[in-house]
Structure 1
Amino acid sequence: MDLWTYDTPDGPATLRLARVEDVPALIQLNKKCFPTMAEHNVVWNKGQLLNHIRLFPEGQIVVERGGVVLGACASLIVRLGTDDYRPHTYSGITDGGYFHSHDPEGDTLYGADVYVDPDARGLGAGHHLYEARRRLCKARNLRRIVAGGRIHGYAERAAEMTPAQYVRAVEMGDIKDLVLSFQLREGFIVRGLLRNYITDPNSKNHATFIEWTNPDYEPQDGSAQRKVRVAAVQYQVRKVASFEEFAAQIAYFVETAAEYRADFVVFPEFTSMQLLSMD
């Protein structure tokens, strides 16, 4: 089943659902995209890919151009229970990569993998695969998309910063990460860090817990309740010499709340009164 076609400099590319006959090409492409993980045998095998197509064909999508598969994504539906951001491992959430954990009645689309031929990067395949997931999420009226995202460049900086510091630097634009920077551009938000998530030397086995929320989601039980994290600031009003000094104080609390993944930051009602102290 073809989903849509888009233009590339080398001809039109088509998104479609994966087929059984794609499996050999997908195995080779997965190894090409993740050579260091292939050394640890953390890549797809025939049994896993066949199971994906059997259990959830809608979630297995490829990009093809001229009969050649340029990229693919693998997804399943899950329910994480009462804790939307509970820690988990890749093997645990995907049942060792076989997707027996796929729950058709779940509320969350889990992004298990996206991979694009290194020789075809920059041609839009990754964006279209992410867009296909977003459309699937909306079509199934799922609440969100989540995934454990690789922090591809962390190993090179592990001696100088923690995983959390690295992720924060990427979020602020100080560091460009092949994977995370792309995911942020695609509208995902980092909700936390997953430690010992998967054997991945480039990420030192860490991953980000990323989330995209479906703006069109309609709760079937009539309830739109969800947990949020609110940071309430106990703010000491003090004399400031300039607006820049005031802004720096506010920024400190906002950035601290961001490190704790707060959804909202609440300041006292008269916080801005200290601006009256400026000479």
Structure 2
Amino acid sequence: MYRKEFYLFDQHQPVRAVVRNYTKADFPELIRIQQESFPPPFPEELWWNERQLMNHVTLFPEGALCIEVDGVLAGSMTGLLIDFDPSHPDHTWAEITDDGYIRNHNPNGNTLYVVDIGVRPSFRKLGLGKWLMFSMYDVVIHKHLTRLIGGGRMSGFHRYEKAMTAEQYLDSVIKGKLQDPVITFMLRCGRTPVKVVENYLDDEESCNYGALMEWKNPFCTDNNEEVL
């Protein structure tokens, strides 16, 4: 199981943080984190429920991570393993995550797929999302996987939908001409774009588009064999 202890800085003040696997005892707070992290117009039916969380901690506990700050649960990140084929990348969030229930988790998969990441707004100035992402990279390396991948909501696209395509929007974000709350964050975490996916998620802000973003295991070669 995973546990990493370190200090963050709130301006000049060190604060103690822990990234660890979440458990059943954390479920009420994890649901509250979802509600705070993804307010309307994000669909509330996509917030976690206890059945989904129970699957996370039983089917793939290594991919169920949370972060505490001074003992307060402040964010979480969830993944599952899939056998990803780069030549057929198109999918929806619902089909590849089993609507968040991850009953399709493949213990022999080659890729860690990010189901969800969320941080309470009151803690976002501490960079907790990046720490969660880096911790999930640790899981990728520990389990000898080829990559981490997942779709990012292009949450700023609705403001530009009439002026450009989703592909042009993503390209503008990558070039630094535009800033997107989700995609820019992923770029800062070392994720790189694979492609735009249409009808990825029922989400007004991204006009239902998602940007598939990956992080490749640096200990793997291009032919997916681990470097020993």
**What's the Cα RMSD here?**
1.8
Show the counterpart of 1:174: 177
Q: CA deviation at 1:115?
A: 0.6
Q: Name the CA distance, whole Å, in 1 between partners of 2:36 and 2:162.
A: 28
Say whether the 8 Å CA contact 2:5–2:16 is kept in structure 1. no
Q: CA deviation at 1:165?
A: 0.9
Q: CA deviation at 1:90?
A: 0.7
Runs of 5+ consecutive residues of structure 1 not aligned to the other structure: 226-279
Runs of 5+ consecutive residues of structure 2 not aligned to the other structure: none
Could you list the per-position Cα deviations for residues 126-156 of structure 1 after superposition, in whole angstroms to 9, with x for gaps in the alignment?
1110110111100000000110111111112
Structure ID, larger Rg: 1
TM-score for the superposition, normalised by structure 2:
0.91
Matched residue of 1:48: which SS? helix
Matched residue of 1:109: which SS? strand
Say whether the 8 Å CA contact 2:197–2:212 is kept in structure 1. yes
Show the counterpart of 1:2: 3
Show the counterpart of 2:214: 211
Letter matched to residue 217 of structure 2:
N
Show the counterpart of 1:241: none
- Which of 159, 162, 173 lines up with 2:162 in the alignment? 159
Q: Name the CA distance, whole Å, in 1 between partners of 2:72 and 2:202.
A: 29
Q: Name the CA distance, whole Å, in 1 between partners of 2:90 and 2:196.
A: 8
Q: Name the CA distance, whole Å, in 2 between partners of 1:50 and 1:93.
A: 18
> In the TM superposition, what are the counterparts of 1:51-90 in structure 2 within 5 Å?
51-81=55-85, 83-90=86-93
Matched residue of 2:125: which SS? coil
Q: Name the CA distance, whole Å, in 2 between partners of 1:124 and 1:92.
A: 30
Identity %: 33
Say whether the 8 Å CA contact 2:193–2:212 is kept in structure 1. yes
Q: Name the CA distance, whole Å, in 2 between partners of 1:54 and 1:35.
A: 28
Q: CA deviation at 1:8?
A: 2.8
- Which of 125, 129, 132 lines up with 1:126 in the alignment? 129
Q: CA deviation at 1:80?
A: 2.3
TM-score for the superposition, normalised by structure 1:
0.75
- Which of 104, 107, 117 lines up with 2:107 in the alignment? 104
1:116 aligns with 2:119: yes
Q: CA deviation at 1:215?
A: 0.9
Say whether the 8 Å CA contact 2:146–2:224 is kept in structure 1. no
Q: Which has the higher contact order (CA 8 A, sep 6+)?
A: 2
